[in-house]
A and B are shown apart, each in its own frame.
Chain A
Amino acid sequence: MLRFISRRMFFAILTILVVSAVVFAIFSFLPFDPASLTCGQRCTPQIIEGNRIKLGFDKPIYEQYWLFLSGIFAGRTYGSGSAAFSCPAPSFGYSFNENACVTDMIKESLPITINLAIGALIIWLAIGVGLGVLAAKFKNRWPDTSSSVFVLLGTSLPTFVTGLALLIWVSIKWKIIPMSLDGYVSVLDSPPRWFMYFILPWITLAIAYAALYTRFTRAAVLDTLGEDYIRTARAKGVKERTVLFKHTLRAVLAPIVTMAGLDFAGLIGGAIITETIFNLPGLGRLTLRSVFEFDLPVVLATTILAAVVVIVMNLIVDMLYAVLDPRVRI
């Protein structure tokens, strides 16, 4: 186990290095002058040159990359004299568009995305697995047919349609969940306000995923119910309920956990549409904005972060799989 983890960690770090180098290279070779993006309408070549030196864009690419890497561990200082400012370690650079250290921007947006992803995950797992089991148990009867309607709607309606519909109808027209003006509140500060802030985004995201999980769970449960060991359990005299919720669900759990882990990682990387519709200042919005504004340091940081999350979640999922499936040894 320890050997497995250290081996995987080594490859994870290698992957992250490669990803960061590739992203760095892509943005370096784009036909944009990053320094010219640093000033507004009253721009002069002198200002651009000044900013180029201040932000290190005057140096060769490999040196810029090295500065970026060393900044993660040692922090970075920009400019000189009394106008100098620094981003302490771990520094992922400085956003000239927002005049802020990228690390601070990520620190601000990451909790929101994590809150969003975890809440949505819980809801979609509850709905998806619940409906899937129900549909499998009552195959071809009304719970199955109505859940297949849900699956069809959930998979075919894009998030921006369900999100906008929820926001406009539930929040603005019917005022069931009034639009909050408070902004993000931590669950520790005020659970009710936190809940109100996130409930609609959670539902929006959860609908899309719950549909997929319903379909997946239904198929997996039906598959498992046809397994020989389920027949064995019945032949032992095990109650039908126990057959379903213990013997069958236990077998379906491992692939669902795998899927959920990877989907969760994907969400951390960018629930862009949901965050945009509900105006949540999370990582997805940050990424989107930085891409549109060519805020290269932020794009670089969010891309690397997304890669790290995917790699780490893969590792966690693999370890969880080993815990869940005794046949897998790592």
Chain B
Amino acid sequence: MSELLRINDLHVAFPTDDGLVRAVDGVSLTVSQGETVAIVGESGSGKTVTSLSVMGLHKKGTAEMSGSISVAHDGGFLDVISASEEEIRSMRGRSVAMIFQDPMSALHPYYKIGDQLAEAYVVHNPGKKKEAAARAVEMLDLVGISEPAQRAKEFPHQFSGGMRQRVMIAMALMNSPKMLIADEPTTALDVTVQAQILTLLASLQKEFNMGILLITHDLGVVAQVSDRVNVMYAGRIVEQGGVDDIFYNPMQPYTLGLLKSVPRISKSGSERLKAIPGQPPSLISLPAGCAFAPRCEYIKFADSNACATQMPALVGTKAGHTSRCHIDESKRQASFAEAMKEVR
């Protein structure tokens, strides 16, 4: 399995009038061919900023970036942070494609679907308009839109939400990219449609052997399609591991909190949602130590002084499963095992 994306120690900050917003603070992750890597977190945790960084979509002058983002492109690797605007443009949509959360607003309301799809192809294959049109119909068919030739002539508002997301996926596939970034691809959709889209993504991934970077706040979605998971909190990855590691053996109180807050039907029916108490910290003035410490209900098992002053390192008990936490490993296992009973 070859690597398609390697993010190393990525920092993204936005200068504002109130101060520097540290949206992404030292994120490292990789995505390889054929695998789905999820980034999970609350809104404002930096997951979308990370994905837009990969596409080079932060506006010039508005974001301060450091670290490296290497994207497999034209047989080599392109460092998005240092690459020229033109190089990034030739990568976008061709080596890495992206689909967005709200398929209604992500499609141009005044252009026909077929034309919008074809444009994605023509941008990278100048002059090949006929081919592009044919390919647009082909892709629409592939994502399960019936009468694709007919529907290519229609406008976005003539499609339902799920169909629009299929259109977005078809558009992303126009140049057969090796990698796909899906930013909350199902959030705006009905639950039944969500499943259809996820199934479609999974089958397409198999067919094209794509790497997928899935951005979501929905653990259900993560569980369905991901191979590996990155949990983000306040711009940092707080836990990283295989999907089973995360769901069955979380090592970080925040991950545990997320799992506990997933709604499920309880036998008694009286159980309320268990939300994580408190609010995420301001990204302008992050605490010196663990960013989650103020909300952590397990802080009693740790050296509270360390939690407040030292940022815990990302360390793991076994290969491929790491987390940031000051809690003593033995105390954690006991108390987390108790909590996981509720989750199951």
Contact = CB atoms under 8 A, between A and B. Distances in A.
A228 B57 CA distance: 12
Interface in B34-81: 55, 57
Contact of A250 (B57, B107, B110, B168): B110
Interface stretch (B17-25, B88-96, B238-246): B88-96
B271 to A, nearest CB: 37
Interface in B106-128: 106-111, 119-120, 123-124
Contacts of B234: none
Contacts of B111: 250
Contact of B100 (A228, A237, A324, A327): A228
A231 B100 contact: yes
B105 A326 contact: no
A247 B111 CA distance: 9
Contacts of B102: 228
B98 A235 contact: yes
B155 interface: yes
Contacts of A236: 92-93, 119-120, 123, 171
Interface in B100-157: 100, 102, 105-111, 119-120, 123-124, 155, 157
B89 A239 contact: yes
Contacts of B85: 240
B202 interface: no
A228 B109 CA distance: 11
Contacts of B256: none
A238 interface: yes
B118 to A, nearest CB: 11
A227 B105 CA distance: 7
Contacts of B57: 231, 234-235
B109 A237 contact: no
Contacts of A327: 109, 155, 157
Given A237-B92, A326-B155, A229 B97 contact: no
Contacts of A239: 89, 123
B100 A232 contact: yes
A325 B110 contact: yes
Interface string B216-259: 00000000000000000000000000000000000000000000
Given A237-B90, A237-B91, A232 B108 contact: yes
Interface string B266-301: 000000000000000000000000000000000000
B108 A237 contact: no
A181 B328 CA distance: 98
Contact of B109 (A233, A238, A251): A251
A232 B107 contact: yes
A90 to B, nearest CB: 41
14 contacts: A229-B107, A229-B109, A232-B100, A234-B55, A235-B93, A235-B98, A236-B171, A237-B92, A237-B94, A237-B120, A250-B111, A325-B110, A326-B155, A327-B155
Interface of B: 55, 57, 85, 89-94, 97-98, 100, 102, 105-111, 119-120, 123-124, 155, 157, 168, 171
Interface of A: 227-229, 231-240, 247, 250-251, 254, 324-327
Given A237-B91, A325-B110, A327-B157, 7 more contacts: A229-B109, A231-B100, A231-B106, A234-B55, A236-B92, A236-B171, A327-B109
Nearest 6 interchain pairs by C-beta? A228-B105, A237-B92, A237-B93, A236-B93, A326-B155, A229-B108
